[in-house]
Amino acid sequence: MCPSHTIPGSKKPPSRRSKTSSRPRGSSPGPSCKGRTRDGDQAMPTPVFMPKFEMTQEAGQIVAWLKHEGDPVEKGEPLLQVETDKAILEVEAPATGILAGVTGRPGQVIPIATPIAYILKPGETLSASPQAAGAAEPSLSAARGASEAAAASESRPARATPLAARLAQAEGVDLQGISATGPGGRITRSDVESAIAPAKGGEKEDGKVRAAPAARRLARELGVDLHTVAATGPDGRIQPEDVARAAKAQEAAGREGLLAPQPAAEGASAGHPAAPQAAAGVPVRRLVPLTNIRRTIAERMAASVREAPQFTVTVDADMGRALAIIEDLKAAASDGGPKVTLTALLVKACAWGLRQHPEVNASFQGDAIVEWDEVNVGVATAVDQGLIVPVVRRADELGLRAIAAQLAALTARAREGRARLEDLQGGTFTVSNLGMFGIDRFTAILNPPQAAILAVGRVAKRAQVGDDDRVEVRPIASLALTADHRALDGATAARFLATVQRALEHPGLLLA
- Give the pLDDT score at 404: 94
Whether the per-residue pLDDT at 110 is higher than 80: the answer is yes
Is there a single domain that holds both residue 126 and residue 27? yes
Which comes out higher in pLDDT, residue 30 or 246? 246
Of 317, 434, 451, 437, which is closest to residue 3 (Cα–Cα)?
434
Residue 217 within any structural domain of the chain: no
- Give the pLDDT score at 138: 37
Query: What is the torsional sign of CA 185, 187, 193, 199?
Result: positive
* Residue where one domain finishes, among candidates 259, 288, 317: 288
Residue 164 within any structural domain of the chain: no
Please give the biggest Cα pair distance in the chain.
92
Which comes out higher in pLDDT, residue 471 or 242? 471
Residue 173 within any structural domain of the chain: no
Q: What value does the mean pLDDT take over residues 296-316?
A: 93
- Give the pLDDT score at 90: 85
Q: Which tens digits make up the pLDDT trace of 252-281?
A: 655 444 444 444 444 444 344 444 555 567
Q: What value does the mean pLDDT take over residues 313-339?
A: 87
> What's the N-to-C CA distance of the chain in angstroms?
35
Global pTM value: 0.57
CB 326 within 8 A of CB 349: no
CB 193 within 8 A of CB 169: no
Q: Which tens digits make up the pLDDT trace of 78-95?
A: 899 888 777 778 888 999
Which comes out higher in pLDDT, residue 165 or 115? 115
Which ranges of 70-172 would DSSP assign to H, the alpha helix? 130-133, 162-171
DSSP assignment of 321-333: HHHHHHHHHHHHT
Q: Which tens digits make up the pLDDT trace of 182-198?
A: 656 667 766 676 666 54
- Give the pLDDT score at 395: 96
Residue 161 within any structural domain of the chain: no
Is there a single domain that holds both residue 246 and residue 382? no
- Give the pLDDT score at 349: 98
Looking at every residue in the chain, the average pLDDT score rounds to: 77
Q: What value does the mean pLDDT take over residues 356-378?
A: 95
pLDDT tier for residue 141 given thresholds of 50, 70 and 90: very low
Residue count of the chain, please give it: 512
CB 9 within 8 A of CB 425: yes
Is there a single domain that holds both residue 265 and residue 369? no
Is there a single domain that holds both residue 354 and residue 476? yes
Residue 440 within any structural domain of the chain: yes
Q: What value does the mean pLDDT take over residues 313-320?
A: 97
Residue 4 within any structural domain of the chain: no
User: Quick check: helix, strand or coil at residue 319?
Assistant: coil
Of 161, 263, 264, 269, which is closest to residue 206 (Cα–Cα)?
269
Is there a single domain that holds both residue 232 and residue 319? no
Q: What value does the mean pLDDT take over residues 215-227?
A: 79
Which of 140-158 are b and which e, b meaning 16 or more Cβ less than 10 Å from the residue's Cβ? Answer: bbbbeeeebbebbeeeeeb
pLDDT tier for residue 284 given thresholds of 50, 70 and 90: confident
- Give the pLDDT score at 198: 40
Is there a single domain that holds both residue 356 and residue 247? no
With a pLDDT cut of 90, the percent of the chain lying above it is 38
Region label for 39, one of left (φ > 0), alpha (ψ between -120 and 50) or beta (otherwise): left
- Give the pLDDT score at 127: 66
Is there a single domain that holds both residue 284 and residue 316? no
Is there a single domain that holds both residue 343 and residue 489? yes
Q: Domain with 467 in it: what CATH number?
A: 3.30.559.10
Q: Which tens digits make up the pLDDT trace of 159-190?
A: 777 666 766 766 666 776 677 766 566 677 66
* Residue where one domain finishes, among candidates 135, 151, 167: 151
Q: Domain with 43 in it: what CATH number?
A: 2.40.50.100
Is there a single domain that holds both residue 425 and residue 313? yes
Least trusted range by pLDDT, from 20-29, 82-91, 321-330, 418-427: 20-29
Sheet-wide strand order for 115-120: 46-49, 115-120, 97-100, 72-73
Residue 293 within any structural domain of the chain: no
Whether the per-residue pLDDT at 203 is higher than 80: the answer is no
With a pLDDT cut of 70, the percent of the chain lying above it is 69
Q: What value does the mean pLDDT take over residues 340-345?
A: 94
Is there a single domain that holds both residue 456 and residue 338? yes
Is there a single domain that holds both residue 244 and residue 361? no
| Domain count across the chain | 3
Least trusted range by pLDDT, from 217-231, 259-273, 457-471: 259-273
CB 494 within 8 A of CB 479: no
Is there a single domain that holds both residue 72 and residue 140? yes
Of 167, 199, 86, which is closest to residue 425 (Cα–Cα)?
86
Q: What value does the mean pLDDT take over residues 133-149?
A: 35
CB 45 within 8 A of CB 96: no
- Which range marks the domain in which residue 482 is found? 308-511
Q: What value does the mean pLDDT take over residues 29-52?
A: 61
Query: What is the torsional sign of CA 246, 250, 253, 259?
Result: positive
Whether the per-residue pLDDT at 504 is higher than 80: the answer is yes
- Give the pLDDT score at 88: 79
- Give the pLDDT score at 195: 66
Residue 419 within any structural domain of the chain: yes
Whether the per-residue pLDDT at 340 is higher than 80: the answer is yes
What angle, rounded to 10 degrees, do the helices at 490-505 and 342-356 form?
A: 130
